[in-house]
Amino acid sequence: GQQVMQIPQYQHVQEGEDFTTYCNSSTTLSNIQWYKQRPGGHPVFLIQLVKSGEVKKQKRLTFQFGEAKKNSSLHITATQTTDVGTYFCAGPPSYNFNKFYFGSGTKLNVKP
């Protein structure tokens, strides 16, 4: 069945270091969304990418959608302690908009 994997599972960085999480889907996605979940909280929407090869930036965050629409990445420049949380990619398979699959997540810890 549909699988969306993310690597790494955990990442510990020193404040100021960069961070990247990679998302890979077993099938082509219609679009991809990224969410952040703080400890004890619920997922919060960050961004959506729709087009093949699309790149979007939000301040220190850069999101990329692969050419084949099967992979994506999130890069954070100069991490801050406020970046702590788990980052999930998610999206519907191209064959069915009604399903929505989340990745396994990357948990980021930032040491001050």
The residue ranges that bind another protein (CB under 8 A) are 1, 4, 30-31, 33, 35, 41-45, 48, 50, 88, 90-92, 96-105, 107
Q: Which is nearer to another protein, 19 or 35 (CB)?
A: 35
Q: How far is the CB of 78 from another protein (least distance, A)?
A: 26
Q: Which is nearer to another protein, 14 or 98 (CB)?
A: 98
Q: How far is the CB of 101 from another protein (least distance, A)?
A: 6
Quick check: 78 and 18 in contact, CB under 8 A?
Answer: yes
* Token pair recorded at residue 41: 């909280």
* Token pair recorded at residue 35: 């969410």
Q: How far is the CB of 27 from another protein (least distance, A)?
A: 14
Q: Which is nearer to another protein, 20 or 31 (CB)?
A: 31
Quick check: 32 and 90 in contact, CB under 8 A?
Answer: yes
Sheet holding 71-76, edge to edge: 4-7, 19-25, 71-76, 61-65, 55-58
